[in-house]
Chain A
Amino acid sequence: MKTPENGIRVRMYRIGHGDCFLIAMPRKDSDVPYYILIDCGYKPGSQNFLPHKDVKKVINHIATATNKTIDLVVVTHEHQDHVNAFWKKRSPFFKDFDIKEAWFAWTESPTDRLAKKIRKKHKDQLLGLVEGRRLLGLSLEADNPTLKTIDNLLSMEFGGDKEEAFNHKALSAAAKDPSKSRNKQSMKLVKDKAQKNKGIRYLNPGDFVELKETDGFGAYVLGPPRREKLLLDEDPIGDEAFPSQNGHHLSFNAAVLSGDNKICPFRREYRVEKNSAFGHGFFKKWYGIDKHEDEDGDKVEVPSNASWRRIDDEWLYSTENLALKINRGVNNTSLVLGFELPKSKKVLLFAADAQRGNWISWDDNEWKRGDDTITAKDILGRTVLYKVGHHASHNATLKGNLNDSYPNLGWMAQGKYAQEFTAMITAVNEWAMTKNSPPWRHPLPSIKSALLEKAQGRVFQTDEDEVKKTDNANISDAEWQKFLDRTDFNDLYFDLDIIDE
């Protein structure tokens, strides 16, 4: 892949419902461009809704385009749809590539104290999640939508390149020993390759990283935040005092992981063990077991031991909450980068899967560049390309206007930068809507239309073969044609050239 004259080329691979971007920048003192690959992953199955239907074609294309040497690989966060096309068990996709340098968020750092704590917590939660899923599976039909949702979220955390059924043994092994998870194998492949070139970096918000082999290109690091509360959930991690390794002995996790040796919050004298409770007249009459007393009857008053009022499995539905929480938490560990072009100061904003907690933290930092102090508002204001957060879903692009105090879409592309503002949405809508229950509204129509309006139609979407000027767009046909001249659309990828002058 070549760079255009006086500029860079951004290639969005139509890999599936997931992210894969290749950027070519002019290298200092050489004709071979400087290649950056940002993520490489997809939701298995989604590729079948695209013209190429085969992820391998994408990987082969990257190999040809870069001659299998990538200067910088950015892995934004450890989710299946961002990493699963780096590795597979037999003949890993990126086996033959050379990776000079790799960037990760600080949350991946092996030495960062807070990062270690977060990973420990994540591991504990995953263990509970896998076990809760198994228990729930014992009482629900296999096609129960709650199970499907949980399985889907589990596959995000553990990875893999196929659609497969819940495999308790494999997942609990992977939860106990993260090196067995396929996401982790993908991460490891990238790390190992970069390590060979001593090129691993863990980035913190507030950093500005120069790309030394280019002529003045660099990247602002906006997220993930170091504020734990924004990053994970309402539980402050703080100084935890867990009495056991499964978390607190009376936590949800402990209950699902302890099998029959459950610990109870009250003294023995108050307890009636479940096995003996139904000899106890009270619970037999008021809670019941098996069929209730007049299940086939036509009584007008409900029986005291009606089976539909029982709650034996009710508590296990917390598994679904836990899964959603973990998923959001990991999304918020997304490494968010703003690449800056040296002459025009244009910015390409790669928001990965950042959700609200990540977004609102961007303004916590300022960047010192020489005598200048750069704010998040400046960076967003110069954004000409926005990689839309989390498949353009709810809560992953904030709405607002320039005067609002939190970073939002309204801050982006001010003044002259507005004229070429372009958005890229990594979503396969038909797959998202038909293969998930409840349907994933990716992209969310209200976000899509806000983007279309702001970009006057310059919105790329994985599953759409072309872009169209919006009906009320305020640009001439000539200008639109100039934009089209900077693009290339085909079955495998979209190219967008950005001129730096």
Chain B
Amino acid sequence: MISFNLVSKIPVEAPYFRKLRVLAFDPSLAINLETAEMNQLTLDIPWEDLALGPIGEYIEVIDYDPASGVFYEPVNLEDSHLIARDGLTPSESNPQFHQQMVYAVVMTTIKQFERALGRVAFWSDRVERLPDGRYIDQFVRRLRVYPHALRDKNAYYSPAKKALLFGYFPITSRDPSNSPGTLVFTCLSHDIIAHEVTHALLDGVHPRFNDATNIDVHAFHEAFADIVALFQHFSYPQVLENQIKKTRGNLQSENLLGQLAQEFGRATGRGAALRDALGGINKETGEWELRSPDPFALNNVIEPHARGAILVAAVFRAFLLIYSENSADLFRIATQGTGNLPEGDIHPDLTNRLSQEAAEAADRVLQMCIRAIDYCPPLGITFGDFLRGVITADLDFSPQNEEYRIVFIQSFREWGILPKRVTSTGIDGLKWPSADEMMRNTPSTQYQDTDEAFQHRQEEQSQKRVSMKEYMRGNFLSKIENWNLESDRFKVWNILRRLRIQVHNWLKQGDAIGRDYGELFGLVIYKESDMPQTIYCDQHGDPTLEVHSVRPTVRQTIAGSFTTDIVVEVTQRRRGYFDPLVQEEKDKNGVTPGEDGDFTYRAGCTIIINPTSQEIRRIIRTPDTIRSNQELNRLRDFIMGDDGVVGNSFNAGFVAQNESHRDEPFYMLHKQTEE
């Protein structure tokens, strides 16, 4: 008998990737001959050592099915047999394949984010109340994933549990696309997984980002999660080539790349995918139709998914414009300039080249969208803010190449998405201003804008800039340790946490300089005699500052090298009351200690700083400061549903619409209701 000696003297490096098999869409495509082949996909997941679960650095898959009262055996992806065969074969009836698939798709999505943002991804902190009443932020290393948490047509991200919960449910109707009695597992839908983890990633970037303070906020979250799921389809060459072949390179015709959650959509009686960014079935003809941009579409839609669909359509259209521009030459070559493709299949070489163009354009569009999340106000995002974020982030990341920025503006304009308070929709008008631009354009309280004053003001301001910079360097930037973004995430988290304290000190301890910064950032840093008494203040009576986030973001210089900027988010809060008379009274006479209002009004800013040059490169403010009664009233009207009427429903307002009491913002948003 041969005895195997399994220890080699030469160590072998860990591979770059672990190959794992998943479904490209969901199980429903595996039983259709046309789509079966491309529906099985092998993903390359960056290598990490895995425990049973799988449990890695970012996520932990814990398979508990409380409705059935059982746990499921965790898969061991380190098993040499599984490594050798690229993981388990796709199977609906093997829960371990479900575990493998959620792991693989979640990791793929996380990596998209890390690549775009140039930093490691974090989940939102757990805020723990200690027995002595203090609050501490705890580090959440891993997002938890429960693949079989619910028996419901629902899947959601729970910010309270830092977990993704996926449901499953039986199909009850009999029609050509459904078999009654079979189960639909939401954790086997690529799109649903990518969508949910995107919510979690976004929550990890901005903790207050999901507070519904205007009609766009929830819609934005839904749209953004859909955008990530959709554009991820294009990174799978097999899928892309299949669909390019099928549509003969015309991605404006019906195709799977523009659709989300086919099985779920059909199982919930839609007869089609849950969402389609390109078009839909015309009710009169029964035929699929491309949806053309409608600049008034936003006026009529309030429901978050329907409203979000407009943002998705706008981004998708930007992609299509780029793709048709970049593939025009290929079509010219293939048709000898006539533009008319011969009937039948297109040449495999053309399929291949078109796929490359589509993949490249899609990757760029997705990266632009993800990068934009660093360039958003800390709360209350609107679609218009998002456009400004996309444009500014791209300007900072790819200064030379304007083409993509232009198509975004074009497509958003065609869909009627325009930021408020901008006077031009050129790139220059849309980009967020720098501190210098803000200072130049903020009227001075001391001098009139006359010629004589101008000279003086210039000098005054440049003086001021120098002292502000010095102050920022001394109090904040010099404290930044050398962070290694590839190092242990817990270490990075600790560094960033300490930086939040530094930012606080920087803004708080500067007296006159602090006030200057406050004016610039739209913050109220020191107490003012006439300020509303409902603003949350510290023991000195100064308005509190909450530094939500300090994080690095990567930018490309004109010379082509990469540099790291710092993103800082600061907010302040004020008590709001449903009754305007109560508000007036409390604003004037103050509140009793420990009192919270009926709702909270927040204001603040995001600032992006270049630590090397000490320039404040971007300032992104909420519409007004914490003192603003107008904004507070607008928020009250929005919450109460008194700001008018949208679509064919009277606006019930957020309070009434949100029928649940639990602190689970995505639960009700994702449940499937009758509309």
Contacts and interface: CB of A to CB of B under 8 A. Distances in A.
B170 A250 contact: yes
Interface stretch (B19-27, B238-246, B329-337, B655-663): B655-663
B138 A272 contact: no
Interface string B164-175: 010011101111
A358 to B, nearest CB: 11
A300 B139 contact: yes
Interface residues of B, number: 85
A49 B657 CA distance: 25
A424 to B, nearest CB: 17
A247 B151 CA distance: 13
18 contacts: A234-B269, A241-B174, A241-B181, A250-B170, A251-B169, A264-B69, A265-B65, A271-B71, A271-B73, A273-B70, A282-B74, A301-B141, A314-B165, A317-B660, A321-B154, A399-B647, A399-B649, A450-B650
Given A255-B151, A262-B69, A314-B150, A441 B649 contact: no
A444 interface: yes
Contact of A321 (B72, B152, B175): B152
Interface in B142-197: 144, 146, 148-154, 160-163, 165, 168-170, 172-175, 180-181, 183
A336 to B, nearest CB: 17
Interface centre among B647, B656, B672 (most CB of A within 10 A): B656
Contacts of B269: 229, 234-236
Contacts, number: 241
A266 B140 contact: no
B151 A318 contact: yes
B67 A262 contact: yes
A286 B74 CA distance: 11
A446 B130 contact: no
A10 to B, nearest CB: 25
Interface residues of A, number: 85
A242 B174 CA distance: 11
A251 B170 contact: yes
Contacts of B69: 260, 262, 264, 273-274
Contacts of A356: 648-649, 674-675
Given A240-B172, A286-B55, A314-B165, A446 B71 contact: no
A398 B645 CA distance: 10
Nearest to A273: B70
Contacts of A397: 650
B165 to A, nearest CB: 6
Given A394-B649, A445-B640, A309 B174 contact: no
A308 B161 contact: yes
A265 B55 CA distance: 23
Nearest to A437: B661
Nearest to A299: B138
Contacts of A240: 172-174, 180
B650 A270 contact: no
Nearest to B659: A324
Interface stretch (B91-99, B100-108, B222-230, B357-365): B91-99
Contacts of A283: 62, 64, 71
Contacts of A375: none
Contacts of B154: 318, 321
Interface of A: 145-146, 149, 229, 232-243, 247-248, 250-252, 255, 260, 262-267, 269-274, 277, 280, 282-283, 286-287, 296, 298-302, 304, 306, 308-309, 311-315, 317-318, 320-321, 324-325, 328, 356-357, 393-395, 397-400, 404, 406, 408, 437-441, 444-447, 450
Contacts of B667: 317
B126 A302 contact: yes
Given A270-B95, A441-B653, A311 B149 contact: yes
A315 B150 contact: yes
A192 B236 CA distance: 67
B80 interface: no
A150 B660 CA distance: 10
Contacts of A439: 655-656
A287 B661 contact: no
B301 to A, nearest CB: 13
B151 A287 contact: no
Contacts of B593: none
Contact of A438 (B180, B644, B659): B659
Interface centre among A234, A438, A447 (most CB of B within 10 A): A234
Given A250-B183, A320-B660, A446-B641, A270 B94 contact: yes
A296 B129 CA distance: 10
Contacts of A263: 68
Nearest to B55: A286
B534 to A, nearest CB: 22
Interface in B627-675: 640-642, 644-645, 647-653, 655-662, 667, 671-675
A274 B661 contact: no
A280 B170 CA distance: 30
B429 interface: no
A266 B72 contact: yes
B131 interface: yes
B138 A300 contact: yes
Interface of B: 52-53, 55, 60, 62, 64-74, 93-96, 126, 128, 130-131, 136-141, 144, 146, 148-154, 160-163, 165, 168-170, 172-175, 180-181, 183, 268-270, 490, 494, 640-642, 644-645, 647-653, 655-662, 667, 671-675
Contacts of B71: 271-274, 277, 280, 283, 287
Given A272-B73, A320-B660, A438-B661, A262 B152 contact: no
A441 B640 CA distance: 9
A394 B152 contact: no
A252 B67 contact: yes
Contacts of B655: 438-439, 441
Contact of B649 (A267, A318, A398): A398
A235 to B, nearest CB: 6
A380 to B, nearest CB: 14
A444 B645 contact: no
Given A252-B152, A311-B161, A395 B70 contact: no
A446 B642 contact: yes
Nearest to A409: B650
A211 to B, nearest CB: 33
Contact of A255 (B68, B126, B149, B662): B68
Given A234-B674, A395-B652, A399-B645, 20 more contacts: A247-B170, A250-B168, A252-B169, A264-B69, A270-B72, A282-B52, A283-B71, A299-B138, A300-B138, A301-B138, A302-B126, A302-B139, A308-B160, A311-B165, A313-B66, A314-B165, A328-B673, A356-B674, A357-B674, A406-B648
Contacts of A248: 170, 172, 181
Nearest to A260: B69
A304 B93 CA distance: 28
B650 A446 contact: yes
Contacts of A237: 173
Interface centre among B644, B660, B674 (most CB of A within 10 A): B674
B173 A270 contact: no
Contacts of B130: 298
A447 B68 contact: no
A325 B153 CA distance: 13
B139 A236 contact: no
A398 to B, nearest CB: 5
B77 to A, nearest CB: 14
A238 B175 contact: yes
Contacts of A262: 67-70
B152 A315 contact: yes
B673 A233 contact: yes
A310 to B, nearest CB: 8
Nearest to B98: A266
A129 B212 CA distance: 30
A239 B648 CA distance: 32
Contacts of A252: 67, 151-152, 169
